[in-house]
Structure 1
C-alpha cells in the first residue's frame, strides 16, 4: 500500500498534534494543519519547511466547535493539497469537574469539544473520502474510554467513550470500501493538555507517545492502545475489574 501522502491534523498547534506534524513531516508527507492559534501554526509551518523543504504545509485557523467552519476548512485543505489521504481527529479538551458540583459549564464544554466537534470532523472527513473513494480516518480517543471514571474525569471519559463508539460505527459502515478507520486509545502522554507529567504514574514523554501513535496510524490498525505496554494489559484490567477498583486507578 502506498503511503498516505496528504495528512490533515486538527489541534495541531500544540501537544500531540504538533508532535505528529513533526513526525509526519520527517517522513516526507504533505500536511494540512489547523487550530485556533494561528501564530503557533505559522511558526510550526516555517520550522517544518526549513527542515523538510520538499513538503507542502498548509495552515488554517479552525475552532472545531464552529461546525460550519469545520466543513469549509476541510474542503479548502483538500483544494490546497489536491486530496486528503488521511484526517486525524485530534483536537480535544481535558477539562472537567465532578458531576453535580456546579460546573456544568466545564463538563458541557468538554462534551461539545470532544464528541460533538469530533462528529463534525468525522462527517467532513468521510464526506471527502466518499467523494475520493479513498482515505484514512484516525480518531484520537483515550484509555479513559475503557470505563466510567470518577471526579474530574467523568465527563471526559464519557466523551472519549462516545467518540470511540462513533469511530467504530463509521468503521462498520465502511468495512467493504477502500476507506479505513483507526481509533487510538492513548494512555498518559505528556502534553500541554495533560499538564500532570510530574505527578502521574506511567506518564511517557510526548516524543515516545507520539512515535507509538504514528506507528499505529501508519499500520492503519483498527484500534491501538498507546503505548502498548502497559496499556494493553491495563486496558483489559480496566474493562474487567470491579468498578470500586477501577475508580481508585484514575
Structure 2
C-alpha cells in the first residue's frame, strides 16, 4: 500500500475482535488497517461487495495472513447490522471493538436540496450509527477486555458547514448520540469515543455527491480537501482514531482547523455563524428556478472541476491534487482502480 498502512507499533488491542462499518474505503479502510497492525482480527462492512473484495486485497497486500473478514451490510437496515455483529462474533469468539464509520457526503446549496437529501443523510449517518451502537452493545458488554465503541462524527456536526447542511445535521445527531451513550454507559465496562475529524485527504471527494452547479461545487470541495493547509493526512488521522480507542478517550477532534472551529463556536457561537454566512456567500449559488437537483458523484464531474473556479481555488486544487489523487487511488475511492505496485 505504498506506506499508507504503516504499523503503529502500539499495544493494547492485540487479540481483540473489531468491526468497522464503512470499512471498504477512505478513513474506514485506514482504521481497519491500523486495527490489524495492532493485532486485531477485523471485520469490515459496506454495501458494495466488489468494493469490499478490493478492500480486503488492499489490507492483505502488506500483511499476508492477517485475519480480515468482509460482510456486505447496509447500516440503514438494523436487521443487517444485527447479522453483521453476529457473524463477526461467531468468527472471532465475540466482538470487542466497533467503529461506526459508514456515511455519505452531499455537497450542494440549500436551494438544490430536497427533503429526500436530509432523509438519506439521516438514515445512513445517524440511524446507521444508532443501529451499529445498539446492535454492538450486547456483544461489547460481554467482552472480557471491556468493549470499545467509536462513533465517527465530523467538525461539520460541531459547526454547521455551508453547502453541507444534510451532512452537518446528521453528524450533529451523531455527536449527541456519542455523548449520550458515554453518559448512559459510564457505569459499564464499555467505553464510547466520539471522533470529530476535519477535512482529511482520503479521496472522499470522488465518492461524495454534488448538487446545484455540480462541477463548481466539486471544485471548491476538492480544493480544500486536498490542501495541506486545511486537510490532514488520512493515515495520521486513522492512527489518532485507533489510539483514542485504545486509550478509551471520550472525545477527539482532528485537524487544527477543526479544533479552531470547535473552540470558536464554543466561545463565540454568534460570531462563528456570521463567519459561516460570509463563507456561504462565496460558494456557488443554485441554478435559478431549478429546485432540488439529482446528485452527481464526484468522479463523474472531476474532469470539469476547474470550470468557473476563481484563480486562487484553481491554484489550490492544483496544489492538493497530487495528494488527493494518491489517497483516492490507494484508498479504494476509484472504480476499478489499477493494482498498486508491489
Query: Which residue does 2:319 correspond to in 1?
Result: none
8 Å Cα contact 1:190-1:197 kept in structure 2: no
Report the Cα distance in structure 2 between the residues aligned to 1:65 and 1:96, rounded to whole angstroms. 21
Give the distance between the partners of 1:50 and 1:147, measured in 2 at CA.
38
More deviation, 78-87/132-141: 132-141
Quick one: which of 212, 233, 236 aligns to 1:205?
233
CA separation in 2, counterparts of 1:101 and 1:239?
A: 30
The alpha-carbon distance between structure 1 residues 3 and 23, as it changes in their structure 2 partners (threshold 3 A), is closer
Structure 2 CA distance for aligned equivalents of residues 148 and 192 of structure 1: 22
Q: 1:169 aligns with which of 159, 180, 185?
A: 180
State the Cα deviation string for residues 143-178 of structure 1 (Å, max 9, x = none). Answer: 11113343x212211111111111111111110111
Go from structure 1 to structure 2 and tell me whether the alpha carbon gap of 1:188 and 1:155 turns closer, same or farther (over 3 Å shift): same
CA distance in 2, matches of 1:190, 1:103: 29
Q: Report what 2:53 is aligned to.
A: 42
Q: Distance in 2 between matches of 1:188 and 1:121?
A: 24
Question: CA RMSD for the aligned pairs?
Answer: 2.2
User: Structure 1's 102 and 204: CA in aligned 2 closer, same or farther, altered over 3 A?
Assistant: closer
Q: TM-score, normalised by structure 2?
A: 0.66
Greater length-normalized contact order (CA 8 Å, ≥ 6 residues apart)? 2
Q: Contact 1:95 / 1:107 at 8 angstroms: preserved in 2?
A: no
Q: Which residue of the other structure, out of 228, 244, 249, is the alignment partner of 2:274? A: 244
Structure 1 residue 81: deviation in Å?
Answer: 1.0
TM-score by length of 1: 0.89
Within 2, Cα distance between the matches of 1:219 and 1:148?
Answer: 29
Equivalent in the alignment of 2:135? 124
Query: 1:216 corresponds to which residue?
Result: 244
Q: Cα gap change, 1:31/1:147 in structure 2, threshold over 3 Å: closer, same or farther?
A: same
Of the two, which has the highest radius of gyration? 2
> Cα distance, 1:54 vs. partner?
4.9
Alignment match, 1:231: 258
Q: CA, structure 1 residues 124+60, in 2 after alignment: closer, same or farther (shift >3 Å)? A: same
Instruction: Give the Cα–Cα distance (whole angstroms) in 2 for the partners of residues 24 and 71 of structure 1.
Output: 22
CA gap of 1:156–1:55, structure 2 versus 1, over 3 A, is same
The residue matched to 2:23 in structure 1 has which SS? coil
Going from structure 1 to structure 2, the CA distance change for 1:112 and 1:49 (only over 3 Å counts) comes to same
